[in-house]
Structure 1
């Protein structure tokens, strides 16, 4: 699978992230052609108004103050200033229209990019999240998209405006004095080359700076999600120091970028304005010699200032564009990630649901995780589960129990063999169809930052309040929820911090029961419950298993004794199968596990 390399730096980043990368934004810009046209019209009016101002000044100087003005000076001055006011009014209106339009475009395109990246990321398989840190993704969704917003909402407009001013000003410079303009252009060619070369270093430092910020975000997200553990081990100061070190590294990288960009700006202004001052010195001599009028020189000075200012602005915009190019590259890496787990081109439908649930068939399954291809998590595993049957899967840690659930949910595809749900290969089913037919209670319960009602309703968003209450009662969660300060409307805190482990588990069970799937997967569903809660939930689960097929993973064998069948996994293979009594009598792996859990421990002899 193609994946982004989150902290990829340096050699690759220096080769990529060029301004050509910004072409990747075109699919997000195309839907708003009309707004771009309106912004372009406003931009043309604003640039034309700006370019007309020096010509008005020339007329004011030559006709208002020149020797040929005779007695018409007042009239010419009044007319010129009236024209200048008209130009200023048109410039103000056009600039306001341009600012609003391009700002709207920046906000709109940035929102579209954030939504597209997030929508794409949440569809990735677990393999993607094994190699990509959550903080890295969040950094790209926030910091990187903000840089793109700057480019789309400001820099593109400034670049076009100053390009028009540069081109228009250059034409007017040639009209005013071809000789002086030719000299100034020759000098500009000499000064632009070092500016372009140094700009490449700014681009590389911009990408490095974004990588360091992403590292800091990733570390902060990881630690904040593990605060109870950090505090239990009294590592607050250590983690604060680690984050401080990461922030300082990001700061040092940013300062290197700022220093390089400041030097680039200084270099551009110094060389460009130095060349212009030299040419203006030549122009002053031309006026003294009578080959130019004062108005011509004034007009030339203003157009030269416009051209020089536009070059300086373009150099600054180039710095923003180079930073945005690095940000765009990182976002395109995320959008370019493709999961191996895809919907089939022609998905099949499941047969109508029966009263007993789903029939499941595992045929010669073999699977190795992509990160550990040499180690088989499952090896030639075959198992048929009848509709309505409850099967417990037990075995030592690392035997392949959780892997089996991941394959059933098609988080991964096996390298060999197949899984059939009601006779249909799950690879022929749309992912939503497959996963919609499966309910799961994971070992690590996920509680969202919402109230109790919405946390349970996550199992079936269209469920009524009464259906949510019924599911909570089945999961023995109704009573403790009712005792919360606001009952079902109580906010449960981020990751359910306001609940005990057993309460979180019962919320997860209620969520799965509300979904009412034909196949129910219970991964250590009672692992976090005390004896009383476990008794209540076991009774609820027994009722919930009616009418559906259930597969239970459990290390605590007391929770699986009443299963229709117990399957023992060891090193990815089925080594035993039968009832609790049959497996104990067999004296194999299950009997050893049962002996460890059920036989009383006697103290060692002194």
Structure 2
């Protein structure tokens, strides 16, 4: 049995219900491991993400350190100036030095900021590119286990946090630590007693910040998950906008979204509480340090232990140390936010993606089958959409020779659409083989397999963009002549003439400006424009009127002369004209034959013809022996 890869991410509601009666995905996918393990994975993921721009971040950090070093020299220059004033010496050079330090330091800090921001934007861009590449290559079962809105949030809001961390978190922590240590060294040169007082307060702050850091991490993780849930809720509603309007459930859905937003607010407030606790502790430490140093330093000046200039320099260092301590406390919170975001991004990296496979002709698929209609065969295929659930296919076997039309019929849930999903390799069988041109589809180079196939889905999705964009979607270099021909064959001429800008008219989100029948014709036209060797039509004409359905049936019949057509349909007019018909029931192949053969020999087919199809005479066909 082929093992099925499970998701390695947080639980989400199942995706869309599997087609053709397949069972939906479980809603209890595996949650992340222990909090400690999740944080460690997040830290590793954060460092990997930042590593792509380590050169830019290193240069920016170096410039930041240089700016901090120049700032550290300013109190010494100020001490030199005060000493000169006290001793009556010239203050020209001390003033010049102080001015140069201030000006040059500002320029260095500005350059550092630019380099870091540019590096952070590069981190953001590369992470989003890598993430979107991964998302587009997810296996269909993996995609079905996650809400699209949450995946979108990971590629947008979570990656934005990485950019923030690159500048405000990691770099701030590095430069803040280095400058703080250098400041403490210079303060020790001025007076060890005042340094001891300062260190005592800093240690107390460090303990407080260390205590709240894990709480910041947990709150940040919950906040990001709440933001993902908000995106999922919006995607759910906007994806069925007309249904919401028709059902009059705007208020109900609004309350649902408000509840999600409120949950995001609460988790955000929780994170803010712990971050403000750390910030308050650091601010309090600065104030206490200043008051204590001022009192103790004043006493030491009075006793003659130190000079006024030394106390002034020490206080200046203390003032420069204060924002650094606050910066370190803030960096802890920012780092925890980045770790939470990186962990969610890293979960996408662990989701299973499609295996492309070898190129055509390298293993098992001979190059001679690249042209002409494709043959299809199922060899004892068993398949279940989810482990532990009833199988959608039980030992399904049939053969479709190259060329002609083969129709699949059967009750809802019989496994008809699953046939198409397995041919397209949206799913892989648990056992048995799906063969195209005699080779297992798992041995095909996946892009070449799908280039061979034209697939029209049940709901005939249309993408936002122009009508032209949708017709040529996935079609390399179509000519205007080919485009005009397929528009005529699928009876889209009237639509093109009616639209204000013809083929270049936007069709709206999910083709909302087109009717259901027009969307189906666009999907069929797109499939025909690909000139596939195998054409899969899943209820492709269900929303067409009789005239358009008859015209497209003729188009499909014409296409069947040069390609192999597999069609799932419930209209007798479509099924009866097929070269062969496969009758499916409860995931099994019940019978295979032509329309007259099945009318005479299969009771289920006769029942379907009498109830779901329209017979040519408008009445049930003559009964005959069946199974």
TM-score norm. by structure 1 comes to 0.93
The CA distance in 2 between the partners of 1:528 and 1:161, in whole Å, is 65
The CA distance in 2 between the partners of 1:6 and 1:541, in whole Å, is 43
Identify the residue that residue 382 of structure 2 maps to in structure 1.
366
1:197 aligns with 2:211: yes
Identify the residue that residue 566 of structure 2 maps to in structure 1.
551
| 199 and 587 in structure 1: CA distance in 2 versus 1, 3 angstrom threshold | closer
The CA distance in 2 between the partners of 1:179 and 1:12, in whole Å, is 48
SS class of match (2:576): coil
Offset, 1:494: 0.6
| 166 and 2 in structure 1: CA distance in 2 versus 1, 3 angstrom threshold | farther
1:357 aligns with 2:378: no
1:210-289 equivalent positions in 2, closer than 5 A: 210-289=224-303
Q: How many residues align?
A: 593
1:132-151 equivalent positions in 2, closer than 5 A: 132-151=146-165
The CA distance in 1 between the partners of 2:222 and 2:380, in whole Å, is 48
1:162-561 equivalent positions in 2, closer than 5 A: 162-339=176-353, 341-344=354-357, 348=363, 349-353=365-369, 356-370=372-386, 372-561=387-576
The CA distance in 1 between the partners of 2:336 and 2:567, in whole Å, is 54
SS class of match (1:246): helix
The CA distance in 1 between the partners of 2:400 and 2:141, in whole Å, is 28
Contact 1:25 1:328 in 2 (8 A): yes
Q: Which moved more, 1:404-413 or 1:344-353?
A: 344-353
Q: Which moved more, 1:466-475 or 1:10-19?
A: 10-19
Contact 2:10 2:32 in 1 (8 A): no
1:165-202 per-residue CA deviation (whole Å, 9 max, x = no partner) reads 20110110111112322343234323321221122212
Offset, 1:354: 6.8
Q: Which moved more, 1:157-166 or 1:390-399?
A: 157-166
SS class of match (1:420): strand
The CA distance in 2 between the partners of 1:590 and 1:277, in whole Å, is 93
Identify the residue that residue 46 of structure 1 maps to in structure 2.
67
| 510 and 14 in structure 1: CA distance in 2 versus 1, 3 angstrom threshold | same
Contact 1:2 1:336 in 2 (8 A): no
| 109 and 97 in structure 1: CA distance in 2 versus 1, 3 angstrom threshold | same
The CA distance in 1 between the partners of 2:368 and 2:346, in whole Å, is 42
SS class of match (1:552): strand
The CA distance in 2 between the partners of 1:133 and 1:197, in whole Å, is 35
Offset, 1:540: 1.4
1:434-453 per-residue CA deviation (whole Å, 9 max, x = no partner) reads 11111111111111111111
Offset, 1:292: 0.4
Structure 2, unaligned runs of 5 or more: 13-28, 621-627
Contact 2:357 2:444 in 1 (8 A): yes
Offset, 1:275: 3.9
The CA distance in 1 between the partners of 2:262 and 2:587, in whole Å, is 47
The CA distance in 2 between the partners of 1:9 and 1:381, in whole Å, is 31
Structure 1, unaligned runs of 5 or more: none
1:102-131 per-residue CA deviation (whole Å, 9 max, x = no partner) reads 111111110111111111011011111221
The CA distance in 2 between the partners of 1:253 and 1:31, in whole Å, is 31
1:364-398 per-residue CA deviation (whole Å, 9 max, x = no partner) reads 1111112x533111111111111113111110000
The CA distance in 2 between the partners of 1:356 and 1:16, in whole Å, is 54
The CA distance in 1 between the partners of 2:265 and 2:410, in whole Å, is 50
SS class of match (2:391): coil
1:44-73 per-residue CA deviation (whole Å, 9 max, x = no partner) reads 321111111110111111122x2xx13x2x
Identify the residue that residue 59 of structure 1 maps to in structure 2.
80
| 269 and 124 in structure 1: CA distance in 2 versus 1, 3 angstrom threshold | same
Contact 1:19 1:321 in 2 (8 A): no
The CA distance in 2 between the partners of 1:109 and 1:336, in whole Å, is 20
Aligned alpha-carbon RMSD (Å): 2.1
1:572 aligns with 2:573: no
SS class of match (1:222): helix
Contact 2:41 2:343 in 1 (8 A): no
Q: Which moved more, 1:419-428 or 1:189-198?
A: 189-198
Offset, 1:590: 0.6
Contact 1:106 1:154 in 2 (8 A): no
| 511 and 107 in structure 1: CA distance in 2 versus 1, 3 angstrom threshold | same
Identify the residue that residue 118 of structure 1 maps to in structure 2.
132
Identify the residue that residue 22 of structure 1 maps to in structure 2.
43
Offset, 1:20: 6.6
The CA distance in 2 between the partners of 1:453 and 1:395, in whole Å, is 36
| 467 and 25 in structure 1: CA distance in 2 versus 1, 3 angstrom threshold | farther
Identify the residue that residue 5 of structure 1 maps to in structure 2.
10
1:264-296 per-residue CA deviation (whole Å, 9 max, x = no partner) reads 211222135324532342222111100101111
